[in-house]
Amino acid sequence: MSKHYRQLFSIFTVPLIAQFMPIVFPHPIQGYVNKIEAIISYVDNGNQVEATKTFCGLIKEIKNIGSYNSNTWSEAFCEKIYDLGKLLANKMPILIEDLRKEIAASNQVEQEILCFIESEILINSWQYTDPRTNELILNISKKYIYNPEFIHDLGHIEYVKKNYLAAINYYNQALNLAPKNETFRRRVFNSEMQYIESFIEGEEFDEAEDYVTALVTKGTYKDDFAYSNWLQAIRSRIKDHKLIRSTLINKGKQIEDRVETKLERERFKAIELIGVFTAIIAFIFTTISFTKSFSFRETILLEITAGLILILFVLILSLIFQKSKRKVIGDIRFYSVLIICTALLLVYILN
């Protein structure tokens, strides 16, 4: 069977098999798991007396599990602790007092698993945004520097603050300590996807594409069929975003150019109209003035001259404020100006 088909087989069949095959824990871990499940059942059924009795028995026994080890502190076992912590935080937080007494009576190695249970109860009571959570997990992680569960929690704290790079760093540290832990791997991947999403939401598509390219080049997920597909999908999505943005920018520029052209056309038309009306008014007043001061023949010549000058004024004004960028020479108005100037010269010579 090829590597590709082995991956397909594992992705689609393993979860199905897991639904029908209960996880078998090694001895004595199975005994701890049985007690955790019994406590969960007692609490759910409202039997607080049996829940308290079983919990006190559990913490006296479970502290013998020793320091973190990926075999004894398996992913499935830690998930049971997650479930227990969440349940007790919501329904029986008072049990943390019994837990703290046991912690005080235990040595540092024994305290490690007890601190893990305590942290899960408190985190679910306070949430990751509470400053007390940050202080608690920082102190425990400094005490047990090789326990990835506490480093994993540091990643959660940064994640809820949207400090995705810091979260990715912590999740990677946890994954390096427990390379086979799929929960840690999912956390790394999900944080990286959220980091990419933050770029997309900010329309920083080049940065998002660069980060995806770096992940592909690094090859972190090249052997994982599902994650690799996700990366390719998000890369295609980023390219689509870039194409849409480019199209919208071009369309916006076209609209802006059309509006600007229309405004310019209206402006030139207004200037030309003002020039025409100014010329007409000037011509009227000139005519009135000439008729009072000169003879009929002189008035006619002066009127023709004034008319030509006013037409010349309008044409020159039109040429100066022309809306196109074409050359003046070759424009019919330019030749009209030359003809009028010639006519004025002839009038002057004849007069």
- At residue 285, the pLDDT reads 62
- At residue 14, the pLDDT reads 45
Q: What tokens appear for 196 in the block?
A: 């990419």
Q: Which residues of the chain have pLDDT under 70?
A: 1-24, 27, 246, 249, 252, 257, 266, 268-299, 301-303, 308, 310, 314-315, 317-335, 337-338, 344-345, 347-351
Can you tell me the distance from the alpha carbon of 348 to that of 344, in angstroms, rounded to the nearest whole number?
A: 6
- Kindly report whether the global pTM for this prediction surpasses the value 0.95: no
- At residue 239, the pLDDT reads 81
* Per-residue CA distances from 54 to 16, 37, 190, 314, 324 (Å): 33, 10, 37, 104, 91
- At residue 331, the pLDDT reads 67
Contacts for 331-338: CB closer than 8 Å, 24+ residues apart? 337/312
- At residue 275, the pLDDT reads 63
Three-state SS string over 253-306 comes to HHHHHHHHHHHHHHHHHHHHHHHHHHHHHHHHHHHHHHHHHCCHHHHHHHHHHH
- At residue 22, the pLDDT reads 60
Place of tokens 């959220």: 194
